[in-house]
Amino acid sequence: MFYRENGQFKTSYAADQQIFTIAQDKWFVWGLIAFAALAVPMLADEYMFRAILIPFLVLSLAALGVNLLVGYCGQITLGAGAFMAIGAYAAYNFMVRIDGMPLVLAMLLGGVSAAAFGILFGIPSLRVRGLYLAVATLAAQFLCDWAFLRIGWFTNHSSSGSVSVAKLEMLGWVIDSPTEKYLFCLAFVIAFAFIAKNLTRAAIGRQWMAIRDMDVAAEVIGIRPMFAKLSAFAVSSFFVGVAGALWGFVHLGSWEPAAFSVDRSFQLLFMVIIGGMGSIMGSFFGAAFIVILPIFLNQFLPLLGSLVGVTVSTAGISHAELIIFGSLIIFFLIVEPHGLARLWSIAKQKLRLWPFPH
Amino acid sequence: MAFFIETMLGGLMTGMLYSLVALGFVLIFKASGVFNFAQGAMVLVAALAMARFSEWSNAALGGDSLFLANVIGIVGAGAVMFVVAWAVERFVLRKLVNQEGATLLMVTLGIAYVLEGLGQTFFGSEIYSIDVGMPKDPVIMFEGLFEGGVLINKEDFIAAALAAVLVAGLTVFFQKTAIGRALRAVADDHQAAQSVGIPLNKTWVIVWCVAGLVALVAGIIWGSKMGVQFSLVTVALRALPVVILGGLTSVPGAIVGGLIIGVGEKLSEVYLGPYVGGGIEIWFAYVMALIVLLFRPQGLFGEKIINRV
């Protein structure tokens, strides 16, 4: 009833090519942004910020980057955690080694470093694809795990192996309370989501999608596979690298290489698959799902156990978490292989006809 | 020189164990086109089941016969692997026929989580030991050839022999038996196999069973070497470069790849490691696989990949 596009006429090319062609979509997204920026800081408490909202924002930025590569360009990667690590450690080194380095610039430079390594480790994609490529990107993962653990230069020779950032400050604004950290992350995520959306609508995004759908055919119609694949690796690693810097600087504060282990790579890939490959919105759904589920299970299982009269041990909870998490992944892949984003678009489709389906 | 040979032999033995895990990958990939990330979890579950069943039966028998307890343990673990294979086919693979490779890959990650959780819920999450009577003491060989001889672990030797027997057995199974022929047919072409009357579902159960048994053997050997614990699942990540190096579709490739990776890892760790701070084993294996990939995208022994538009 409310979600209809009739009556909304496009009278110029610009109007026809805007991101959200339906006014309701546009207002919904503006409303969402306003809610996240204005209402959430007033409603949420510190635990919400620390445990849910900030990890959700940072990981959805990383998932967005992975989605550009996996969902839009069709190149499987299991090395996303490594690129997060490169982003975090590079930004750290820029901060520590250059006096008066602005925070945001250091993070962006961290992203650029990650992009450079992304191009390097994307080179195998010119020869191999699918599972073989996944293994090639795993090489990046293990190499980074090792390098940040063993080579002292990266961690500024800190004795414990963990690094930390003293003070987050941007143009005189000291970012220390959870609310400020949240808003800082939110600004990044909104800006990058906007960039990602536009990239995928532009020529380069179309090239990626052509490569994804059939690389040989794309080559025949004049798309340079090398440029398309490596640019996808570069852009994706840039996003992931910035997310890594945010994860280290804002969420963790001080971190060790284990924060960016291979599990993180798997987690990011899960987010993309569950959220929906080739969908910007899907990255957010996937991140929300993966971040909230363990917390929910952690709270809910002991409660359920006490209802039945069984005390669930901590080990039991972590095992049950594994089982439920695994089953949910299997369930989602069987029932909805296109992810939560597909459910979202089905819902929109239904809403269009509601309440008169004929 | 003796030290070099010792290192190399050590590498060969480790490599043989990697091959065992890699074999599980290859079997399933050949028959169903699924890249089974759950192989590591299967090794863990098999080893856990074996350790616990033999422990329980040993307690029930009053500790009289370790041999009998071990037999019960192996049979029990085999049964568990059969149930796993059946459940995977019935509840997961059957519903995902004709899905893309990426989806199937993700689903095996899901299976891995479920197996890890279930296995530890049923069998506990402590460190258990498996005692199948493997000799632990090292022997010194080739004393006539080198000064001081070469130190070899007897256990490694037996493990390698077991692995060789298993591979030979699998080769015969695949080449000579009717079921093996059916498996190869399914691997070649699902539709053609189905149209000549080979039941796909049953073949998948069989091949997951075989992979489960391979996992059991790998689990017993690894378990008796370093105890049954959660870190067994990471063995799968160590075995990945092996499969890539040898080729995803080749059984001999898994063996040769395992040996190459095993030797390469050990030699690099011993001779290159000290210069760069050590701990390079794991990524060195991956880099080796990566270099092979750049020149032979299908791996050393894999079938040539042909892309059609």
Cβ A127–B116 below 8 Å, yes or no? no
Domain that holds residue B84: 2-240
Average of per-residue pLDDT across B150-165? 75
Look at residue B190 and tell me if it is in a domain.
yes
Average of per-residue pLDDT across B71-95? 88
Alpha-carbon distance of A237 to A123, in angstroms, equals 13
Nearest to A142 among B111, B248, B282 (CB): B282
> At residue B83, does pLDDT exceed 60?
yes
Q: Could you tell me the pLDDT band of residue A335, with boundaries at 50, 70 and 90?
A: confident
Residue A262 CB contacts under 8 Å (≥ 6 apart), including other chains: A78, A81, A138, A141, A142, A145, B237
Average of per-residue pLDDT across A179-205? 89
Cβ A319–B290 below 8 Å, yes or no? no
| Tally of domains within chain B | 1
Q: Could you tell me the pLDDT band of residue A230, with boundaries at 50, 70 and 90?
A: very high
- Residues of chain B contacting A79 with CB distance shorter than 8 Å: none
How many Cβ atoms from other residues are within 10 Å of residue A97's Cβ? 9
Q: Judged by CB atoms within 8 Å, which residues 176-235 of A form the interface with B?
A: 214-217, 220
Q: Could you tell me the pLDDT band of residue B95, with boundaries at 50, 70 and 90?
A: confident
Question: CA A230, A233, A238, A244 torsion: positive or negative?
Answer: negative
Look at residue B290 and tell me if it is in a domain.
no
- Residues of chain A contacting B117 with CB distance shorter than 8 Å: 319-324, 326
Q: Could you tell me the pLDDT band of residue B63, with boundaries at 50, 70 and 90?
A: low
Look at residue B151 and tell me if it is in a domain.
yes
Report the pLDDT value the prediction gives residue A232, as an integer from 0 to 100.
Answer: 92
> At residue A87, does pLDDT exceed 80?
yes
Report the pLDDT value the prediction gives residue A208, as an integer from 0 to 100.
Answer: 92
Cβ B283–A334 below 8 Å, yes or no? no
The distance in angstroms from the start CA to the end CA of chain A is: 13
Residue B153 phi, psi (nearest 5): -80, 125
Please give the residue of chain A at the shortest CA–CA distance from B297: A128
> At residue A57, does pLDDT exceed 60?
yes
Nearest to A264 by CA among A138, A106, A104, A125: A138
Q: Could you tell me the pLDDT band of residue A60, with boundaries at 50, 70 and 90?
A: very high
Q: What angle do helix axes A54-67 and A262-275 make, rounded to 10 degrees?
A: 80
Q: Is B99 exposed, middle or buried (0-12, 13-18, 19+ CB in 10 A)?
A: middle
Report the pLDDT value the prediction gives residue A347, as an integer from 0 to 100.
Answer: 85
- Residues of chain B contacting A316 with CB distance shorter than 8 Å: 121
> Parallel, antiparallel, or unpaired for β B150-153 and B138-141?
antiparallel
DSSP A73: S
Q: What angle do CA A248, A251, A255 make, to 5 degrees?
A: 40
Report the pLDDT value the prediction gives residue A93, as an integer from 0 to 100.
Answer: 87
* C-alpha gyration radius of chain A: 21
- Give yes or no for a contact between A69 and A87, defined as CB atoms under 8 angstroms apart: no
> At residue A96, does pLDDT exceed 70?
yes
Q: Which residue has the higher pLDDT, A203 or B171?
A: A203
Q: Could you tell me the pLDDT band of residue B306, with boundaries at 50, 70 and 90?
A: low
Nearest to B107 among A136, A214, A333 (CB): A333
Secondary structure percentages of chain B, helix, strand, coil, to 5? 75, 5, 20
Work out the minimum CA distance from B233 to partner chain A, whole angstroms.
13
How distant, in Å, are the alpha carbons of A52, A91, A93, A162, A197 from that of A99? 33, 13, 11, 21, 35
Average of per-residue pLDDT across A34-63? 84
How distant, in Å, are the alpha carbons of A190, A210, A257 from that of A228? 25, 9, 31
Nearest to A108 by CA among A280, A257, A243, A268: A243
Average of per-residue pLDDT across A223-233? 91
Cβ B309–A149 below 8 Å, yes or no? no
Look at residue B246 and tell me if it is in a domain.
no
Alpha-carbon distance of B32 to B186, in angstroms, equals 7
- Give yes or no for a contact between B160 and B218, defined as CB atoms under 8 angstroms apart: no
Residues constituting chain B: 309
Q: Which residue has the higher pLDDT, A276 or A60?
A: A60
> At residue A235, does pLDDT exceed 90?
yes
Look at residue B39 and tell me if it is in a domain.
yes
- Give yes or no for a contact between B229 and B250, defined as CB atoms under 8 angstroms apart: no
Alpha-carbon distance of A202 to A185, in angstroms, equals 26
Q: Could you tell me the pLDDT band of residue A210, with boundaries at 50, 70 and 90?
A: very high
> At residue A116, does pLDDT exceed 90?
yes
Look at residue B200 and tell me if it is in a domain.
yes
Please give the residue of chain A at the shortest CA–CA distance from B114: A323
Nearest to B29 by CA among B218, B253, B192: B253
- Give yes or no for a contact between B15 and B260, defined as CB atoms under 8 angstroms apart: yes
- Residues of chain B contacting A145 with CB distance shorter than 8 Å: 283
In the numeric block, which tokens belong to residue B180? 């093996």
Q: Could you tell me the pLDDT band of residue A160, with boundaries at 50, 70 and 90?
A: confident
> At residue A48, does pLDDT exceed 80?
no
Alpha-carbon distance of A197 to A287, in angstroms, equals 17
DSSP A262-327: HHHHHHHHHHHHHH-TT-HHHHHHHHHHHHHHHHHHHHHHHHHHHHHT-PPPHHHHHHHHHHHHHH
Highest mean predicted confidence (pLDDT) among A216-230, B177-191, B218-232: A216-230
Work out the minimum CA distance from B116 to partner chain A, whole angstroms.
7
Work out the minimum CA distance from A127 to partner chain B, whole angstroms.
7
Average of per-residue pLDDT across B143-168? 72
> At residue B129, does pLDDT exceed 80?
no
Q: Which residue has the higher pLDDT, A336 or A118?
A: A118
Cβ A136–B293 below 8 Å, yes or no? yes
Identity (one letter) of the amino acid at A348?
K
Alpha-carbon distance of A262 to B283, in angstroms, equals 12
b/e sequence B213-244, b meaning 16+ C-beta within 10 Å = bbbbbbbbbbbbbebbbeebbebbbbbbbbbb
A105, A109, A112, A114: CA torsion to nearest 10: -130
> At residue A14, does pLDDT exceed 70?
yes
Highest mean predicted confidence (pLDDT) among A188-192, A334-338, B53-57, B244-248: A188-192
ipTM of the complex: 0.81
Work out the minimum CA distance from B45 to partner chain A, whole angstroms.
13
Mean of pLDDT over chain A:
84
Identity (one letter) of the amino acid at A165?
V
How many Cβ atoms from other residues are within 10 Å of residue A40's Cβ? 17
Average of per-residue pLDDT across B275-300? 79
Of A147-161, A320-334, B81-95, the one with minimum mean pLDDT is A147-161
Look at residue B283 and tell me if it is in a domain.
no
DSSP B305: P
> At residue A192, does pLDDT exceed 90?
yes
Identity (one letter) of the amino acid at A291?
V
Look at residue B269 and tell me if it is in a domain.
no
Report the pLDDT value the prediction gives residue B297, as an integer from 0 to 100.
Answer: 77
Of A156-170, B155-169, B184-198, B243-257, the one with minimum mean pLDDT is A156-170
Report the pLDDT value the prediction gives residue B294, as an integer from 0 to 100.
Answer: 80
Nearest to B294 among A127, A143, A330 (CB): A127
Interface contact A319, partner B, CB < 8 A: yes
Structural domains of chain A, with CATH: 44-353 (1.10.3470)
Alpha-carbon distance of B90 to B87, in angstroms, equals 5
Residue A2 phi, psi (nearest 5): -95, -20
> At residue B134, does pLDDT exceed 70?
no
In the numeric block, which tokens belong to residue A114? 């990650």
Residue B128 phi, psi (nearest 5): -115, 160
Q: Which residue has the higher pLDDT, B232 or B220?
A: B220
Q: Could you tell me the pLDDT band of residue A70, with boundaries at 50, 70 and 90?
A: confident
Taking only the tens place, the pLDDT of each residue in A260-319 is 888 888 888 888 888 888 888 889 998 998 888 888 887 887 777 777 766 667 777 778
